Structure 1
Amino acid sequence: MDINFEYYKIFYYVAKYQNLTKAAHALNSSQPNVTRAMNCLEQEVNCTLFTRTNRGVCLTPEGERLYARVSVAMRQLQLAEEELSESVGLEHGSISIGASEIALNIYLLDRLKKFHTQYPGVGLKIHNHSTPQAIRAVQNGEIDFALTTTPTNIEAPLKEIRLKGFQEILIGGRSFEALKHQEMSLKDIRQYPFICLGKQTTTYYFYNQLFLVCGLEIVPDTEAATTDQVLPLVKSELGLAFLPEEMAKEALEKQEVCHIPLKEKIPKRYVCMVYDSKRSMSVAAQRLKKILLEESEKNEE
């Protein structure tokens, strides 16, 4: 038989929905066109495939046998289309990410290297954002997703997935080495010059809340524009500062800075992914998201 394969596609949707109108809608066609195609198919195969009901149509025994074969073929074609689309997306796609410096330094860079090795054709656009800026960029649809630090204070439809916990420590330059043998309190810190990020950052908000709980107020002597500026400022003896332990590790090993113990426990913070649950992502962005989540699961094991 030389049957138009488009008839089989239409047959598949009619059988799937058991309704001519719904099938027409799925095919972006009209009900008369769908009905005409099914009449032609029945003439070609020389048997009745559907019977009409009050709610639509149902398959005859012959229709059931044909649908069993056609549905398998349609699924294989759909899978082939998805694989082709994914292949193209991972060869020539692009991803736009907003990342805070802490998230970039202690989590994202290593994962981006792994992703780029696997998919060298995918373009990466990394925007250097503070956490509030990154969240606004996600809300506005300017980026695929953001890697930020807690607290995020997001609202639906945005979602947050915690990827990695990190601990911050108090550090000082060599001139403050005598303090590493003491146990300082947050109140004691106010006796020394203090370095902190600007008021529009999540880190400032986090520490301001921490100080307020103790009835204190942050009064920084030096405000850094970015987290990457904090360590050089500490090395230059401009004051004490809080920094993720991982970012201070090398400088501590070289004894360029010292770790100053605190009486108060600094709450753990997290690198997290923030994305819009109602906005679809490109194939490339979905793959990078999957890699980041898989790496997060490994960290928890």
Structure 2
Amino acid sequence: MNISYDSYRVFYYAAKYKSFSKAAAALYNTQPNVTRIIRRLEAELDCALFFRSAQGVRLTPEGEKIFAHIAIAFENIEAAEAEVSSDRSLQSGILHIAASGLALRGCLLQVLAQYRSEYPRVRIYLTNHSTPQGLAAVQNGLADFAVVTEGSVIPDSLMKKQIGEIQDIPICGAAFAELTHETVSLSRLVDYPIVGLTEGTSSHDFYSRLFLSHDLPYNPDVEVETIDQVLPVVRSNLGIGFVPREMLFGEPERTGIFPIALSEPIPPRSIYLFQRKNQPLSIAAKRLQQMLLEPPLQKAVH
């Protein structure tokens, strides 16, 4: 049989309200049209679906069987429409974000705070990844997008948009405080133990290039997995590290972390949003993307 969706829709409302006139009102239609569509449906199914009386209509046994199946389908459709409507107003929704520690500290946390205050019912799943891991998560459909610093290898299936910059500074613990008394060169830092992120991360690649541009070797004596591990390792006097300026809070004497003035400027590092090409974002993800792409002043006053 090739019976139209509209015929079953009219039948569903007539059975739900036990009235052709109420069904017509719910469908913004007329009672004669509802009656005509029900008669046509009965003819197509070759059975009566309703008992008619002056008090209204009620389902026949055949109508009960049809309604038991049709009701499930239409209730699911109505639930889906309500869910989409809720998502459109961002009264619900889910976000999956893969972020590096640098990007999180650099700009993502500030925007997420704004987003959360405006759309508190959207659930956020935030995972901490290195840049290669974050890109893989997006590529494999495990995240809506990745917010990371640029890696050396960008898959062709992804597109990127710059959303901000971070500025790294060198830091040391109290045992190396002599480095904080004057401006020092990068070549002098090579004489001290270096704390860096593991090979394969965007940070390792960045500092390898920076040191190489000054004809210096970059061989960290202590390697860590995430940027958040750098601070406690440096505070424990295991070496000299590099972190975003935004990670430093409080007086050095209290925190045990001392900034170092470097004679050679460290170039700012760009933060990018990566997403799959030709892959539509959910309404919740699209709104966060818009907020991340807004100019800094707009982000601040949003």
TM-score tier by shorter-chain length is 0.5 to 0.7
Pair 87,133 (structure 1): closer, same or farther in 2 beyond 3 Å: same
Q: What is the CA-CA distance between 1:249 and the residue it aligns to?
A: 3.7
For structure 1, which runs of at least 5 residues remain unmatched after alignment? 1-5, 7-80
After TM superposition, list the pairs within 5 Å mapping 1:1-301 onto structure 2.
85-89=84-88, 90-151=90-151, 153-250=153-250, 252=252, 254=254, 256-294=256-294, 296=296, 298=298
Code of the aligned partner of 1:230: V
Q: Secondary structure of the residue that 2:248 maps to in structure 1?
A: helix
Q: Does structure 2 retain, via aligned residues, the 8 Å contact 1:184–1:262?
A: yes
What CA distance in whole angstroms lies between the structure 1 residues aligned with 2:295 and 2:232? 30
- In the alignment, the residues of structure 1 paired with residue 250 and residue 160 of structure 2 have an alpha-carbon distance, to the nearest angstrom, of 30
Query: Using a 3 Å threshold, how does the CA distance of structure 1 residues 164 and 152 change in structure 2: closer, same or farther?
Result: farther
Name the CA shift for 1:86/1:169 in 2 (closer, same or farther; >3 Å): farther
| Preserved contact between residue 168 and residue 268 of structure 2 (Cα < 8 Å) | yes
Alignment check: 8 A CA contact 2:132 2:151 kept: no
Q: Residue 152 and residue 276 in structure 1: after superposition, are their counterparts in 2 closer, same or farther (change >3 A)?
A: farther
Instruction: Describe the SS at the equivalent of 2:161.
Output: strand
Structure 1 residues 171 and 156: CA distance shift in structure 2, 3 A: same
Deviation at 1:98, TM superposition (A): 0.2
Distance 1:232 1:149 in 2: 22
* Shift of residue 253, structure 1, vs aligned partner: 7.7
Q: What TM-score do the two structures reach when normalised by structure 1?
A: 0.67
What's the CA shift for 1:101? 0.8
Distance, in Å, in 1 between the alignment partners of 2:200 and 2:116 is 32
CA contact (8 A) 1:144 1:285 kept: yes
Task: Give the 3 Å change call, closer, same or farther, for CA 205–151 of structure 1 in structure 2.
Answer: same
Task: After TM superposition, give the deviation of residue 152 of structure 1 in Å.
Answer: 5.7
Taking a change above 3 Å as real, the CA distance of residues 198 and 256 of structure 1, as seen in their structure-2 partners, is same
Question: Does structure 1 retain, via aligned residues, the 8 Å contact 2:111–2:299?
Answer: no
Give the aligned residue type for 1:272: Y
Structure 2: give runs of 5+ residues left out of the alignment. Answer: 1-5, 7-79
Aligned length: 222
Match of 1:209, SS state, is: helix
What residue number does 1:43 align with? none
Higher Cα Rg: structure 1 or 2? Answer: 2
Q: CA deviation at 1:182?
A: 2.7
Whole-Å separation in 2 of the counterparts to 1:246 and 1:159? 27
2:291/2:299 contact within 8 Å kept: no
Structure 1 residue 179, shift from structure 2 partner: 1.1
Compare 123-132 and 178-187 and name the one that shifted more. Answer: 178-187
Q: Which residue of 1 aligns with 2:74?
A: none
Identify the range of structure 1 (120-129 vs 286-295) with the bigger mean alpha-carbon deviation.
Answer: 286-295
Check the 8 A contact 1:131/1:152 in 2, yes or no: no
Please tell me the residue identity of whatever aligns with 1:209. R
Paired residue type of 1:168:
D
Q: TM-score, normalised by structure 2?
A: 0.67
Change (3 A) 1:144 1:216: same
